[in-house]
């Protein structure tokens, strides 16, 4: 796919535009606005305990049960959530692609074993598997990444293997083999470019799903360990104060939704623009 076609389609795709805007706004908030915030994310101030939003414009989204500024915490928490999801996705892509390539290229036992493993992982609900492993390994940031990695590499592995299989049997690989080219080198040259598009699409949606999963794990006490705020842990922290100070829960949830929505827009937009089968 040439960049020209991509840009022509990108100009028409509302989803892609929304996704990119959302993502840029997010980056600006997290990396430009956060350092300018006058508060410390851990700064306790009992004078402002459970302060409602918009009452005091110094604390525009209010304060939590310890009087900490919610906006500051959301922005800092966003960095944590984003760091977590980006690390998980990057590692998943690398591991999934390598295993998928191995399975597809070598076939035989390598293929059987790798595909059985993906099936085993997929036969247990992701959150359940993650909880079990965290329960055993203990809660910390690295373990959290490992656990989410375990549940999310399978998608990439299957995707890459599928591409390899399709290309192995395609006319042009056969044709180039007939012309005397080395089968292996052709496949490597052909496969990776063919995989990039679907991987990008899946990764952009995976970014959002990791953030969602973190929120579930936080609620069950297996998320980002306290006192570090991540969106998920902030939401579950707020549940005790749902009746007196609902904003403690509402605000991080909105940040989370905005972010995941941006990633989903990005994913759908990229699909529209990158899919070679899409004619317009």
Partner 1 sequence: MRIVKYILRRIGFMAVTLLGVSIIAFALVRIAPGNPVELLLPEDATEEQINAMEERMGLNDPVLVQYFKYIGQVLKGDLGYSYRLNKSVSQLIAERLLQTAKLAVITLVWSTIFAIVLGILAGINRGKGIDVFSMMFSLVGQSVAPVWLALMMILLFSVKLGWLPTNGSSGWQCMIMPSLCNGLAQAVLVARLTRTGMADVLSEDYITATRARGISKMKVYSKYALKNALLPVVTIIGARIGHLLAGSAVIESIFVWPGMGQLLTQAIGQRDLQLVQSLLLVSAFMISLANLLVDILYTFVDPRIQLT
Residues forming the site for partner 1 (CB under 8 A)? 116-117, 119-120, 123-125, 127-129, 131-133, 135-138, 208, 211-212, 215-216, 218-222, 231-232, 235-236, 238-239, 242-243, 246, 249-250, 253, 256-257, 260-261, 264-265, 268
Buried b (16+ CB within 10 A) or exposed e, 242-255: eeebebbbbbbbeb
Cβ-contact 194, 201 below 8 angstroms: no
The CA distance from 15 to 12, in Å, is 9
DSSP state at residue 133: H
Q: 100 or 232, CB closer to partner 1?
A: 232
Q: 67 or 253, CB closer to partner 1?
A: 253
Closest approach, Cβ 86 to partner 1, in A, equals 18
Closest approach, Cβ 176 to partner 1, in A, equals 27
Give the ranges where 107-169 is alpha helix by DSSP (H).
108-122, 126-137, 141-168
* Nearest Cα to Cα of residue 68 among 215, 220, 216, 227: 227
Would the CA dihedral through 5, 170, 98, 126 be positive or negative?
Answer: positive
Q: 45 or 275, CB closer to partner 1?
A: 275
Closest approach, Cβ 88 to partner 1, in A, equals 16
* Nearest Cα to Cα of residue 172 among 155, 151, 186: 186
DSSP state at residue 47: G
Closest approach, Cβ 263 to partner 1, in A, equals 8
Closest approach, Cβ 184 to partner 1, in A, equals 26
Q: 104 or 208, CB closer to partner 1?
A: 208
The CA distance from 38 to 228, in Å, is 18
The CA distance from 2 to 150, in Å, is 35
Closest approach, Cβ 231 to partner 1, in A, equals 8
Q: 110 or 220, CB closer to partner 1?
A: 220
Q: What end-to-end distance do the CA atoms of the chain give, in Å?
A: 13
Q: 203 or 260, CB closer to partner 1?
A: 260
Closest approach, Cβ 255 to partner 1, in A, equals 10
Q: 47 or 136, CB closer to partner 1?
A: 136
């Amino acid at each position: 796919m040439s960049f020209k076609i991509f840009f022509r389609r990108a100009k028409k795709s509302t989803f892609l535009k929304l996704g990119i805007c959302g993502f840029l706004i997010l980056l600006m908030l997290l990396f430009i606005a956060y350092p300018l915030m006058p508060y410390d994310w851990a700064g306790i101030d009992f004078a402002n305990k459970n302060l409602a939003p918009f009452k005091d414009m110094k604390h525009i989204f209010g304060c939590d049960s310890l009087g900490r500024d919610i906006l500051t915490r959301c922005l800092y928490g966003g960095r944590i959530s984003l760091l977590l999801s980006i690390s998980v996705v990057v590692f998943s892509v690398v591991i999934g692609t390598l295993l998928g390539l191995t399975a597809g290229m070598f076939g035989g036992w390598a293929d059987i074993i790798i595909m059985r493993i993906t099936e085993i992982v997929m036969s247990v609900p992701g959150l359940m598997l993650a909880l079990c492993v965290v329960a055993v390994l203990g809660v910390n940031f690295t373990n959290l990444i490992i656990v989410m990695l375990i549940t999310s590499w399978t998608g990439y592995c299957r995707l890459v293997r599928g591409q390899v299989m399709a290309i192995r049997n395609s006319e042009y690989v056969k044709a180039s083999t007939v012309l005397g080219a080395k089968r292996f080198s052709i496949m490597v040259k052909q496969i990776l470019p063919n995989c990039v598009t679907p991987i990008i699409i899946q990764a952009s949606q995976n970014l959002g799903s990791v953030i969602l999963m973190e929120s579930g794990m936080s609620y069950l006490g297996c998320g980002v360990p306290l006192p570090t705020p991540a969106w998920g842990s902030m939401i579950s922290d707020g549940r005790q104060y749902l009746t007196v100070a609902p904003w403690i829960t509402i605000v991080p949830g909105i940040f989370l939704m905005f972010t995941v929505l941006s990633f989903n827009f990005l994913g759908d937009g990229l699909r529209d623009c990158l899919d070679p089968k899409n004619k317009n």
